[in-house]
Chain A
Amino acid sequence: MMEHILSLITFSPLLGVLLLLFVPRDKAGSIKLIGVLVTLIPLVLAFTMFAGFDSAQEGFQFVEDASWINIPLAEGVTVQFNYTLGVDGLSMPLVVLATIVALMSAIAAVNMIQKRWKEYFILFFLMQVGLFGVFTAQNLFLFFIFFEISLVTMFFLIGVWGLDKREDAAFTFLLYNGLGSAIMLISFIALLVNAGLVEGPAGIIYTTDMQTLTYNLTNPASPLFQAGQYSDVFLYGVFFALLVAFGIKLPLFPFHSWILKVHYQAPPPMSMILSGVLLKIGAYGLMRMEVGFFPSIAMEFSTMLLVLGIVNLLYGGILAFVQEDLKMVVVYSSISHMGIILMGIGAMNRLGFQGAIFQMVSHGFLSAIFFFIVGVVYTRVHTVKFEELGGMAKVMPFTSGILLTAGMASLGLPGMSGFISEFLSFLGVFENHPILAAVASIGIVLTSAYLLRAILSVTYGPTKEILVGMPDARLTEVIPMVVLLGFIILIGVYPAILSDPLQTTLQSFLIRIGG
């Protein structure tokens, strides 16, 4: 089973689709039960994979490689897209993260989705295929397909189950991300044509296999590299095109406006996925493709990445401070926290990368828990505006406690995951850019300021009338909160669980950037 575990993880949600086809649409209970139980399968499998992951082994593990599409162009020239899956220290934690957040999102959907459960869960399962596939795919073509699956399903999930202006939001989402994937596709094609060439016994093969591309682009031993035939236009063009493509996803500062609209309208379980996993695709892509394919260019522009990260961090932080409702604060805090990932990558050293990966995982859990709590509040009082809320700690002490703890984690309180990621990213930046790092560390105070302002105005203070008599979290709401917070604390207290599997992979990245 272990040799096919990645395929199993990726496609096990399809089992749910199959099951749901046999369930009448009005049996909401059974549909929800299937929705949750089937989402449990990839989680269990992912943990099996985590346990079986050999952190000392170099390169990719659990690799599956099957011939898939071969397009003969001419005699002895083939374009080849293989079905290749595999994980390394970078993608493995993200797969685990995705399975956890997906399960929590499924549980959240039990209460927060009010209509058309059957269609919802079918789309949700399809989206999971995309989510897991994106992180396991080792072929750019495959990556792109999974990426698009997640995008299209998310479009419908937002457009049908969102709030009042959901169509608008869904289209905004589709347009921005569609633009991003268009740029990405062009870059992939450029990579295929320029760097995907392999000469084998069967003739010349053009491929988008990630490892082949990495080898061709970065390894001095590769024939293409030696020929020095990469033009600057190709290298810099693809580098910046990918930066924009993944920057939109991340979202990077000038491309962030979609996330505001989309998160505001998306149903809470989808916000969890969107912020918890989908944004990480951007970060993952930056790490895997920007740094992985173009280490020397990334090195050259590391200061630029760093500055972009700092701009994101401060911009999001300042704007979060003046928002009028909890949801928007969480959204802007996402933007701000993504800046830390970018900073970690821009640091171009071991601690920075480590911090960036920690931040991906940590922010995955944190934003999921935040959006979940926002959803919990919203389902009760139908508002998350500060002026209408206050004193929630009195009527909903448990939820408020979790919110406050999550807020503390998010502002980087030690003992929780936010600290490790923030600390390592900043520490990494301090090595070469102490001044910039010092400027960026203002962001730490800004983060505390907006989070405390937001969370305290919701939970502390005199209890507003609208909240009086509201029940505290139910069991189905307690589980996601406790589980997510559990992981947040686990990583905070015992970060080695996440950092140990990463070291070998990081080493390979560092060798490539010459560090």
Chain B
Amino acid sequence: MTGQYLAFFIFALMAITGGVFMINLSRVIHMVLSIGLSFFGVAGLFIMLQAEFLAFVQVLIYAGAITIMMAMGTMMTQGGDEGEKPKRRLHNVLSFLSAVLVGAFLLYGIYTTSWPTEPTDLGANNIKEIGVTLFSNFVIPFELASILLLVALVGAIVLAKRDGEKD
């Protein structure tokens, strides 16, 4: 039991500290890396929830692809003027307040609700089950998602392409 709790705390701490560092670090590349830490933490939480497949995907896409992509993006967009920006104190205060309030609401809700405590066993090998469900019940959303990805691919290329380049 304690081992499970320990693991949970470690992963949760990873996820949250990653997020907090992202907020507080000053250099963009550090921020990107710290969010990678957060993604790893979430992946760990997935494992604890018997969602191994998702944990794998999480590491692959978020911690791998997106973080790297963002790091690349950061490099591509460096060199912009980093002069003094006008301080938006009211904006920041309000943002902080609303973020805290939203969080407080959610936590209050979580705290006061009585949740089912018994976990359902999803089976040791639920990857197969995911595959079966995905290709039986959710085949149309799946295909749509593939189209979405295709569109995103084309769109990203078109958007990022330089103006006036013809090919």
Judge A-B direct contact (beta carbons within 8 Å): no
Residues of A within 8 A of B (CB): none
Give chain B's interface residues, CB within 8 Å of chain A. none
